[in-house]
Amino acid sequence: MEPVRSASRDGDEIGGGPSAAAATLLPESPAGQLRKPQAPSRPAPPTEADEHLRVRLGLQRRASSNVRRHVVRSARRLSVLFLADLTAVCGVDLLLRAIRDGGILGDRVAALAVAAFPSGAITSPPYLVALFLTLFITGNYGTGDQRRSPRRLFGAAWLAALLQVWTAVWSTGFGLGALQYFCTAAVVWNALLLDRLTVDRIVAWLSPPDSHAARTVFVGPAEDCREAAAHPAFRGGGEYAQKGFLDLRSPAAPDAVGAIGDLPRLLHDAHVEAVVVCGYLPDRELQDVVNISLAAGCQLLSVPRSIEVAGVHPSLVWRRGRPLMELTAPKLQGHQLALKRAVDIAGATVGLVVLSPLLALVALAVALDSPGPVFFRQERIGVGGRRFRVWKFRTMQHGASDSSHRDLVTRMLAGDEEGTRQTGADGREVFKLVNDPRVTRLGALLRRTSLDELPQLINVLTGEMSLVGPRPPVPYEFEAYDHWQFDRLQVRPGITGLWQVSGRNLLSYRQMCELDVEYVRRWSVGLDLRILCRTIPVVLFNSGRAA
């Protein structure tokens, strides 16, 4: 076998002919004369093995550059977040000083600020050190969505406050000073939330799109690569700049940049920094992708399709030295159910007491507007498929048929979005009955303001509904469900929910069901509180086009 020759100075060529500067001994002829020198042979053209070796060695040389770019990107993210957090904390301190000292909101608010917030506590070195240390420990400077997690930010703000409270309690005992730090933690938490929600937009506005994004290639079956590339996690303006995908199958799809065997060449020529494995790859192909990507110093990500479709939470567990991926369904259990139920009871009780004058006024108006009962009792489907009767103020003529609504829902369930899309009074398209003759004049107002839903607080008290949850379907909806839509019935239906604050009648029936299923999978106390807060402006401005 011919030995591999040394690389050239710039490292771009492997192999080649003998050096032109090398001395050549010319043998003598039998007559003692030198033979005529022969012309030097031309270098042999590079073979496929030479090209493969050139690419692989080029990837190894570029690995250190890719690693440096990943480190620079992480340092940039950390510095931007640190400066943004510091700006937010200092901004809160300046605002409190202005309120407390200057009285920009009046003397009464200034007095409350003096009592609630200790002077200079937010920008004191001990508190700042404690805050940024806890932000780092709780993962708020990590990658991905961790840095935007309200729960992590809440934990960091309150842990920093507890460190200050411990010092205050140790020196002076538990009193007003300790309580002031808890007020400070609440304000700082809200400032950090606002900071993290806006910092990405500000950075995107100041710097060109994809200027700091990692050049990314997708590997796997074509349909899985297209689906992953279309996801918001990889779309433009984020952390990843797409450079195409390599198809697992051969010949590759027309829109692919090559087949999976072209991965080394693509990583080398396109200076790729991140590789995303999509869908299922056989063991041998997966091992090659892993080896090549890591040798090139690329970030290696995986989008396991089976986990995404199943809607479960993966967690890594070890059994006798073997790693296993445990897939668990996100359900409300134990203390979570008890906490949600406690919030429901407290909220419904307070709501009925506070709103009782309004409820009485609406009931009187319904009785005077049109003949019939004040309340409308309709059968709905609740958690686990249990049937119950929902309480609502009557908004239609008494005894009106539901055939038109039944026909609309049937066509929606069949996927007829074009036929069920109608034009509202403001010209916008909605998925609901428009100009329904069954609705009374007062009923239209009640629907537009969602006041007809308030009696459902009774259903919340009796345990049939929750303040926040999926919309309860009527029986003929339930009977036509596809298998995935039954996930909506894992929790109690709610008076308001993710669908109501995300567009309501502006969304199709399928989109409504998808939002309800997403709520079931993402449930948390924080999500319920955010939905309740977002419900108020939706109701006031009718942004969901309730009527």
Question: For residue 60, how far is the Cα from the chain centroid?
Answer: 34
User: What are the structural domains, with CATH classification, of the chain?
Assistant: 65-206 (no CATH), 214-328 (3.40.50.720), 335-541 (no CATH)
Mean pLDDT of the 130-136 span: 88
Mean pLDDT of the 389-401 span: 88
Say what the pTM is.
0.49
**Which residue matches tokens 């500000």?**
202
Whole-angstrom CA distances from 487 to 311, 332, 491, 502, 516 are 10, 13, 9, 19, 8
Torsion angles phi and psi, residue 301, rounded to 5: -120, 160
Whole-angstrom CA distances from 515 to 174, 231, 370, 480 are 45, 16, 36, 18
The two tokens of residue 389 are 């009767």
At residue 422, does pLDDT exceed 70?
no
At residue 375, does pLDDT exceed 90?
yes
**Which residue matches tokens 């940049």?**
257
Q: What is the pLDDT of residues 160-190, one digit of tens each?
A: 888 777 766 666 655 556 677 778 888 888 8
Residues 6+ apart with CB under 8 A from 244: 217, 218, 256, 257, 266
* pLDDT tier for residue 247 given thresholds of 50, 70 and 90: very high
Specify whether the CB–CB gap between 279 and 250 falls below 8 A.
no
Regarding predicted confidence, which is higher, 431 or 347?
A: 347
Q: Return the percentage of the chain with pLDDT > 70, whole number.
A: 74
Q: Please state, rounded to an integer, the average pLDDT across all residues of the chain.
A: 78
Q: What is the pLDDT of residues 264-277, one digit of tens each?
A: 888 888 888 899 99
pLDDT of 466: 93
At residue 19, does pLDDT exceed 60?
no
Regarding predicted confidence, which is higher, 23 or 481?
A: 481
Regarding predicted confidence, which is higher, 251 or 325?
A: 251
Mean pLDDT of the 129-152 span: 82
Q: What is the pLDDT of residues 427-443, one digit of tens each?
A: 666 667 666 778 888 98
pLDDT of 17: 42
